[in-house]
Amino acid sequence: MTGMLARWSPRAWARSLWQHLVKSHTSPGRLALAVAVGIFIGHLPIIPFHFFATVIVCWIFRLNTATTYLAANVSNPFLLPFLVFGSVQAGHLLLEGSFLPVGVAQLAEEGPKRFFSALLLGSVVQGALLGGFLGALTYVVLRRRRRGRPPEPIEVAMDDVASRYARGRRAAYHYVRSKLRTDPVARAVAERAPAGGDVIDLGCGRGQTAVLLAVLDPTRRVRGIDWDETKLGDARDAAAGLSATFERADVREAQLPPASCDALLVLDVLHYLPKATQDEVLARACRAIRPGGTLLVREMDDARGWRSWATRAEERVFTTLRFNRGERLVFRPAAELVALCEQEGLEVTVEPMWGSTPFANVLVEARRPTTG
Ligand SMILES: C[S@@+](CC[C@H](N)C(=O)[O-])C[C@H]1O[C@@H](n2cnc3c(N)ncnc32)[C@H](O)[C@@H]1O
């Protein structure tokens, strides 16, 4: 696949859209909130704008868009007359202290201004009450159903990983737990890494992804590399009893012998290095991949417009606050990384890996073919 084609794949785009609209924010609490907000929006007398209102509100408050929009369709042709009737009556009761008598003459006497005032107030009140009720009902039903559902193996493994960090520093525990829950990259890596074999996590940080891979498949030999001794300490404590080691090294000098590993992760690290060094580290990483093995690189794609801008701003704030020890931030179009991996004989795909954030992170998956 060429760099340009790899950068925009309709399949990856459709998958990401599906993930964003349907699969994200699906905990019982978030879905219940989506139902409540959707019902509320559906009540507002702005029918042509329900869709846009839904998209904007879901983006701001991180709600499941499909559920919210479905709930907003409470104002469908069958229910709309009842909703309007109920809203007008509720509004009239609040404004005038009485229900609106039903009849054409009474409506004419009421006048459009008082009618629409009653409709507006009533739709807000009725929408909030009905939304609150149906949201609460959704929560109760989902909690009951999920209690009976066996968790997926990856969910069990993530809980196990988080609980391993609970033995150490509280800050590391909370970071890892939230990172595993909210960042799609750990699940994506777990789905793409080959079974067994040697795994290297370059710039592993607190090591949660490395530990997750070791928990999911104890036959893997996992090696994490970072230069931050505090984070490495968290990783070592969490990896007790697993086939995972963590060593202090600069990724620019780390030992990556040719054909030495089956999976190599470089997640959110390259942009701390100058461009030429990125190329050099990436080329060594490619050569370290055995036939059938996979290199997984997550980076910000600097060719994604406003998303790229938002990522740059966020990284600058974090680096300034010294959460990440990095000398500089060098972001570049993902197509450049793709081209480099392809030069090294790997087959590459790129897909969005920004979850529900406004950032421009992508996952570059580069596989070394088993033959040739
Ligand atoms: C944003 S964190 C990502 C950590 C981890 N890969 C993850 O996904 O959670 C970047 C990490 O790269 C490490 N790092 C940056 N430059 C490095 C270098 N030259 N050598 C070793 N580690 C480095 C930092 O210490 C930090 O832990």
Residues sharing a CB contact under 8 Å with residue 360, sequence separation 6 or more, in sequence order: 300, 301, 302, 304, 307, 308, 310, 311, 354
Please state which of the ranges 75-79, 282-286, 318-322 shows the lowest mean pLDDT.
Answer: 318-322
Instruction: Delimit the CATH 3.40.50.150 region(s) of the chain.
Output: 153-367
Domain 153-367: which CATH number of 3.40.50.2300, 3.10.105.10, 3.40.50.150, 3.40.50.10860? 3.40.50.150
Give the pocket of ligand 1 (CB within 6 Å).
Answer: 203-205, 209, 226-228, 231, 250-252, 267-269, 272, 324-326
Identify whether the C-beta of residue 307 lies closer than 8 Å to the C-beta of residue 359: yes
Q: Distance from the CA of 235 to the center of ligand 1, in angstroms?
A: 13
Residue 66, classed as helix, strand or coil, is: helix
Q: What's the sign of the alpha-carbon dihedral 272, 191, 240, 284?
A: negative
Residue 186, classed as helix, strand or coil, is: helix
pLDDT higher at 56 or 112: 56
Residues sharing a CB contact under 8 Å with residue 9, sequence separation 6 or more, in sequence order: 349, 350, 351
Q: Is the pTM above the cut of 0.85?
A: no
**Which range has the top average pLDDT, 61-75, 168-182, 268-282?**
268-282
Q: Distance from the CA of 61 to the center of ligand 1, in angstroms?
A: 30
Q: What mean pLDDT is predicted for residues 315-337? A: 77
Checking if the pLDDT of 323 tops 60, the result is no
The predicted pLDDT at position 170 comes to: 83
Q: pLDDT band for position 327 (50/70/90)?
A: low
The C-alpha angle 239, 355, 251, rounded to 5 degrees, equals 45
Q: Distance from the CA of 137 to the center of ligand 1, in angstroms?
A: 44
Q: Distance from the CA of 243 to the center of ligand 1, in angstroms?
A: 21
Q: Indicate which atom in ligand 1 lies nearest the CA of residue 266.
A: 6
Please state which of the ranges 66-70, 86-90, 321-325, 367-371 shows the lowest mean pLDDT.
Answer: 321-325
Query: For residues 197 and 336, what is the distance between their CA atoms, to the nearest angstrom?
Result: 29
Ligand 1 pocket: which of 180, 226, 299 to mutate (most atoms within 8 A of CB) = 226
Q: What mean pLDDT is predicted for residues 333-347? A: 97
Calculate what percentage of the chain has a pLDDT beyond 90: 59
Token pair listed for 250: 């600069």
Nearest residue (CA) to ligand 1, atom 27: 205
Identify whether the C-beta of residue 201 lies closer than 8 Å to the C-beta of residue 209: yes
Q: Distance from the CA of 205 to the center of ligand 1, in angstroms?
A: 5
Q: Using CB atoms within 10 Å of the CB of residue 279, give its burial: 0 to 12 exposed, 13 to 18 middle, 19+ buried.
A: middle
